[in-house]
Amino acid sequence: MSSVDMIEKAVQSERTSFRQAAKDMDSLTRRPEQRETVGEVRVEDPRVRCNDVNVYYGEKHAVMGVNLDIGRNEVIAMIGPSGCGKSTFLRCLNRMNDTIVGCRVTGQIFMDDQDINASGIDVVPLRAMVGMVFQKPNPFPKSIWENVAFGPRIHGLAHNKAELEEMVVTSLQRAGLWEEVKDRLEQPGTGLSGGQQQRLCIARTIAVGPEVILMDEPCSALDPIATAVIEDLIDELRGHYSIVIVTHSMQQAARVSQRTAYFHLGNLIEVGETTQIFTNPVHKLTEDYITGRFG
Amino acid sequence: MQTSMLIVVLLILSSIAFYLGRRRAFAVARGRARNLHSLPSYYGYYVALWCGLPALLVAGLWFSAEDAIITRMLVDNLPPEVRSLEPGRVDLVLNDIHNLVNGNITSREPDAAMLAAADHYRQLRATSHAALSVVALALAIVAGTFSLTRIRPEHRARNAVERIVMALLIACSSIAILTTVGIVLSVLFESLRFFQTISLFEFLFSPQWSPQTALRADQVGSSGAFGAVPLFAGTLLISFIAMAVAVPIGLLSAIYLSEYAGRRLRASVKPLLEILAGVPTVVYGFFAALVVAPMIRDAGLSLGLDVASESALAAGLVMGIMIIPFVSSLSDDVINAVPQSLRDGAYGLGATRSETVRKVILPAALPGIVGGILLAASRAIGETMIVVMAAGMAANLTANPLEAVTTVTVQIVTLLTGDQEFDSPKTLAAFALGLVLFVVTLLLNIFALHIVRKYREQYE
Ligand SMILES: Nc1ncnc2c1ncn2[C@@H]1O[C@H](COP(=O)(O)OP(=O)(O)O)[C@@H](O)[C@H]1O
Ligand SMILES: [Mg+2]
């Protein structure tokens, strides 16, 4: 083979591999398309109304054009395979995505006819109004009492010691923890059991008087008994708050929620009454998920 | 054979032994490594270690004993008039002979007897080296062959090699530990000698420090006073000033870097801060003596204050700057170790960034930060160069940072530099001071590490 032939051949193979690479790039960057949501996303007199919410992590489009209402005194469950954007969407509702570098949120989220994404909105009162409970219980390394008093203190809610005391006690009572800890309020919150810690975190959230509570897989780090206690608690709390709960357990969604939203690859696929979603899903993807075909 | 040559030959022999051992392992396994207890190369290492280690060990022992033996033989052969000299003079002659052998300058013109002795020395040394080469090589070959013959498929070469490696590692670490123990013991014993002349009570509690003593009986000089209180006070004063500078600046910059700064800024500023830690202390020292001290004096003069040209303040300020990277990088580690979930919890409740830092992150990180500060303090107490250059030598007992003070480390330096009688209280005082310094920094370190460790456990 002459050297000219060799060069020709090298250039050829270079070209083919370049074309292949370009094709690969294309299929990688081509975005999963946005889909229409099946079911009724709107409710009468919503507590929160989301219009066309999109979230981007840098280039990655993690939540796509979600429209959803959250009603008053309802528990709405978010289900879907992991990585579909449930947590990301949940964090939009109290603007916790602000704390993530490179995260960008578009669209409108109305509470009381006020867009929380509008410029000039202060996140401090917003986060007092929309509380959050995390996947892993994260009490501060302080006493039980101090954990619950933390929120009222930073928001200046109590005018004197007695009021603060009152807030701590009612929050602990409402979180169903009072009977277990009333004799050891001075002990560290980190010394409690996992389920108690999670209820302490709920009490801490309640103490600032929120109207909406966001819960991101609140039971996934807990044993079944502690989970059952928290589920009962969620049912009681519904009387006072709107609750958005992300869960991996479909049984849990069925037990505690009135409405269910199914997410898939950043899309809100289907929303409906919980009983309808679990007995009679409309969308094929929803059906596949709840019958356990994937996820 | 030259020493270096001998070592090279031994290494070559070991590599050959490795090769032979492996091949023999294959041979006894009839070519199938599966029949062997260990991988074939372990048999190679086994033979190589047997071949090299004993020979090297013998060579090492030989060298450490060689000089003493040859010198003894030399002395026996010296002319009687030299041997009858007093021991100190004999040593001098021997020293000259050594110098002659090594081609160095001698203390006086060598005479015939010395030249002969030097020749004799050379001869003896050559013989000794030749003998060593023969012995070492013979040992290497014998031990190597012996171990080679022991190779059987069921021979546990891997376990043997692991044991030898472990023994080597233990030997190395014991060298480090034994040296430390040796240093501590020597300091301890010399200090005990010091405390035979000066009482421990006087040393620890008397406020008078003036270590100059008369060297000879007929000399006019002070009798010496060894009350170390001014030194302790000076050390404390300077360390206190240093910590007062380093702790706030270091801690606040750590907070800024870990909680406020963007990723890009952090990536460029952190290494910069760590460069500060790499500046040699002597550079800080002349910075303190030539820049900071005059600046402070001038500032003091313009305020009508009387400032010494060497002041505790100058030394303390610069030492504080030196310690900043310590405090900031230790605090930064500790702050970063506070789990993200705690930050999320605080932000989720509506806390602002500074509330989160003040009410959640700092309390959670406090034990670790305290540990880091104590480590920095022990560094400040032991620091010498800056204080030697900037704080002066005057053993003033004062709390005024504008006066010259002196520290434990500075006094150790001054006590041991210059012409000294080794067993005068003046020299021995340095050991006593060293002992105090050692005990204090050791306690500080133990305490600090204990705190840091406990803190780590909290989040694991
Ligand atoms: N901080 C982040 N930076 C970049 N990408 C992220 C980040 N958090 C989540 N993502 C991506 O966004 C998508 C949705 O994530 P997430 O909302 O955590 O899913 P889910 O909670 O449903 O399991 C995933 O593909 C995930 O990789
Ligand atoms: Mg999630």
Domain boundary among B197, B217, B251: B197
Q: What single string gives the DSSP state of each residue in A38-49?
A: BS----SSEEEE
Whether residues B363 and B299 fall in one domain: yes
Whether residues B126 and B18 fall in one domain: yes
The CA distance from A276 to A241, in Å, is: 23
User: In ligand 1, which atom is closest to the CA atom of A90?
Assistant: 17
Is A27's pLDDT higher than 50?
Answer: no
Percent of chain B past pLDDT 70, that is, above it, reads 95
The CA distance from B361 to B366, in Å, is: 8
Asked whether the beta carbons of residue A139 and residue B345 sit closer than 8 angstroms, the reply is yes
**In this structure, is residue B237 part of a structural domain?**
yes
**In this structure, is residue B216 part of a structural domain?**
no
The CA distance from A138 to B59, in Å, is: 63
**In this structure, is residue B252 part of a structural domain?**
yes
Which chain B residues touch A if contact means CB-CB below 8 Å? 262-263, 339, 341-352, 355, 359-360, 363-364, 458
Percent of chain A past pLDDT 90, that is, above it, reads 81
The CA distance from B392 to B404, in Å, is: 6
The CA distance from A201 to A265, in Å, is: 30
For position A182, what pLDDT does the model report? 93
Chain B: residue nearest A153 by CA? B351
- 3-class SS at B383? coil
For position B320, what pLDDT does the model report? 94
The CA distance from B427 to B421, in Å, is: 7
Whether residues B320 and B408 fall in one domain: yes
Domain range enclosing B166: 157-197
Whether residues B248 and B274 fall in one domain: yes
Whether residues B181 and B65 fall in one domain: no
**In this structure, is residue B23 part of a structural domain?**
yes
**In this structure, is residue B203 part of a structural domain?**
no
Whether residues B151 and B164 fall in one domain: no
The Å distance, Cα A293 to ligand 1 centre, comes to 22
Whether residues B151 and B162 fall in one domain: no
Q: Which positions 93-152 of A are in contact with B (Cβ < 8 Å)?
A: 94, 96, 99, 101, 123-128, 131-132, 134, 136, 138-142, 150-151
**In this structure, is residue B213 part of a structural domain?**
no
Q: Which amino acid is at A96?
A: M
Whether residues B63 and B185 fall in one domain: no
Is A22's pLDDT higher than 80?
Answer: no
Which residue shows structure tokens 């975005």? A31
For position A24, what pLDDT does the model report? 53
For position A17, what pLDDT does the model report? 62
Whether residues B122 and B162 fall in one domain: no
Domain count, chain B: 3
Whether residues B188 and B258 fall in one domain: no
Whether residues B174 and B316 fall in one domain: no
CA nearest A50: which of A268, A203, A238? A268
Q: What is the CATH number of the domain that holds B281?
A: 1.10.3720.10
- Burial (Cβ within 10 Å: 0-12, 13-18, ≥19) of residue A156: exposed
Question: Is the CB of A60 within 6 Å of ligand 1?
Answer: yes
CA nearest A247: which of A295, A211, A199, A187? A295
**In this structure, is residue B207 part of a structural domain?**
no
Would you give per-residue pLDDT tens digits along chain B (460 residues)? 578 889 999 999 999 999 999 999 988 888 788 888 888 899 999 999 999 999 999 999 998 888 888 888 888 877 777 777 777 777 877 888 888 887 777 777 777 777 888 888 888 888 998 999 999 999 999 999 999 998 888 888 899 999 999 999 999 999 999 999 999 999 999 999 999 888 888 898 888 888 876 655 555 555 678 888 999 999 999 999 999 999 999 999 999 999 998 888 988 988 888 888 889 989 999 889 899 988 998 898 898 888 777 888 999 999 999 999 989 988 998 899 899 999 999 999 999 999 999 999 998 898 889 888 988 999 899 888 888 888 877 788 888 888 888 889 888 888 888 766 667 788 888 999 999 999 999 999 898 888 877 776 666 5
Chain B: residue nearest A127 by CA? B350
Instruction: pLDDT band for A244, please (50, 70, 90 cuts).
Output: very high
- Burial (Cβ within 10 Å: 0-12, 13-18, ≥19) of residue A199: buried
Is A78's pLDDT higher than 90?
Answer: yes
Whether residues B169 and B261 fall in one domain: no
Nearest bound ligand to the CA of residue A92: 1
Which pTM does this prediction carry? 0.75
Chain B: residue nearest A148 by CA? B349
Instruction: pLDDT band for A30, please (50, 70, 90 cuts).
Output: very low
